A and B are shown apart, each in its own frame.
Chain A
Amino acid sequence: DQQVKQNSPSLSVQEGRISILNCDYTNSMFDYFLWYKKYPAEGPTFLISISSIKDKNEDGRFTVFLNKSAKHLSLHIVPSQPGDSAVYFCAASALQRGSTLGRLYFGRGTQLTVWP
């Protein structure tokens, strides 16, 4: 059963516009959330994270919003650039809740395409 869900397999956005990637989770024990970006033929790379004690974290053009009551987070990219075209994975962990690993649960990914 998928505990982290990315229901949109793809998203297409014009350069300069905002990209909004969504992620939903089912496990209320999750307390740390991350986004990874993956280019073809490369491994995923860490992009941004947010702890459950916050509802927003910003890093340059990237902002992650967390809505704990809705069990929903989103990644906003403003402005979008062609180099942002990649697969974006949402991931979650329950590190503070006694997990021995703080194992990351990944969503299936969203392919973002930013066109000129």
Chain B
Amino acid sequence: NAGVTQTPKFRVLKTGQSMTLLCAQDMNHEYMYWYRQDPGMGLRLIHYSVGEGTTAKGEVPDGYNVSRLKKQNFLLGLESAAPSQTSVYFCASSFGLAGGLTGELFFGEGSRLTVL
């Protein structure tokens, strides 16, 4: 039972480099999300998707781009990494709308990104 899988788990980048985080879910969920967690902070929503081919901005979208070409995958891209993007990134998916009765979020294990 894979659930939500994130790759890579760890990555170190230099300022200005680009990279993509991949999220895959096998639960046939419509909704997918990317969060970041910083020390002493709660989870903050970066981008989300309400279905294949759709994406939308969350609370902290600047410096990130996303794509949802397939229902099961949600990619998070950093075009030009900055030290402020050092964080732990969590992907999540849900059957229904987040926060609702069927909107339980299922999270991946996280991807720790360090930007030097």
Interface residues of A (CB under 8 A from B): 2, 4, 6, 9, 32, 34, 36, 41-46, 49, 51, 89, 91-95, 101-109
* Interface of B (DSSP majority class): loop
Most buried by A among B45, B56, B103: B103
Inside 8 A of B92's CB, which chain A residues have their CB? 43
Inside 8 A of A94's CB, which chain B residues have their CB? 99
Q: Does B48 contact A (CB under 8 A)?
A: yes
Most buried by A among B45, B50, B56: B45
Q: Does B98 contact A (CB under 8 A)?
A: yes
**A104 touching B109, Cβ below 8 Å:** no
Inside 8 A of B58's CB, which chain A residues have their CB? 103
**A103 touching B45, Cβ below 8 Å:** yes
Binary interface profile of B, 43-77, with partner A (CB < 8 Å = 1, else 0)? Answer: 11100101000001011000000000000000000
**A102 touching B100, Cβ below 8 Å:** yes
A-B pairs, top 5 by smallest CB distance, nearest first, are A93-B99, A43-B107, A106-B42, A102-B99, A102-B97
**Chain B interface, number of residues (Cβ within 8 angstroms):** 27
Known: A43-B90, A101-B97. A106 touches B107 (CB 8 A): no
Number of A-B contacts (CB under 8 A): 74
**B110 touching A89, Cβ below 8 Å:** no
* Bound Cα distance A51, B43 (Å): 21
* Bound Cα distance A15, B48 (Å): 39
* Bound Cα distance A110, B103 (Å): 23
Inside 8 A of A107's CB, which chain B residues have their CB? 42
**B110 touching A42, Cβ below 8 Å:** yes
Nearest residue, chain B, Cβ from A33: B99
Inside 8 A of A95's CB, which chain B residues have their CB? 97, 99-100, 103
Inside 8 A of B2's CB, which chain A residues have their CB? none
Nearest residue, chain A, Cβ from B41: A108
* Bound Cα distance A41, B110 (Å): 7
Q: Does B104 contact A (CB under 8 A)?
A: yes
Inside 8 A of A49's CB, which chain B residues have their CB? 104
